[in-house]
Amino acid sequence: MKKVHKFAGGLLGMASVLVAGSALASLVWAGSAVTLAGVDVESTGTSGALVVWLNTATTPSNVPSCGTGTTGYQLTGTADAVKTMAATATSMFLAGKPARILWNGCVAGTNYAAVAGVSN
């Protein structure tokens, strides 16, 4: 019975990798690091949901078409992922370090580019 359990667990693990792999196919890194101009948090009305924005001093490369002509981009993902990106971006902004941005297309139903990651 243990061997069957291990095998089933292995299949489940492989399925997770395959799903993650296909989800990652649309991610694109900005070609070069940019200077950050700030990180903003705003409430979206009565629901109390928060939206976190990454602002840059210049337009990064490889910006999805929905984000051209602006220097503000929405952090996306799970609540924990957005918190981590906001903390990383804030510390890089305060230290004056440039950041690389990982794009994930456009925020559904908007004209905002979706940020899936922030790195140095």
Which pLDDT does position 30 carry in this prediction? Answer: 92
What pTM, to 2 d.p., does this model score? Answer: 0.74
- 3-state SS class at 29: strand
User: Domain 27-119: which CATH class?
Assistant: mainly beta
How does pLDDT run across 21-43, given as a tens digit for each residue? 334 448 999 988 999 999 999 98
Domain boundaries, the chain: 27-119
How does pLDDT run across 42-97, given as a tens digit for each residue? 987 667 778 999 999 988 999 998 888 888 999 999 999 999 999 999 999 999 99
Which residue pairs from 76-83 have beta carbons closer than 8 angstroms and sit at least 24 positions apart in sequence?
Answer: 76/104, 76/107, 76/114, 76/115, 76/116, 77/116, 81/116, 82/52
CB 108 within 8 A of CB 74: no
pLDDT at residue 2 greater than cutoff 70: no
pLDDT at residue 113 greater than cutoff 80: yes
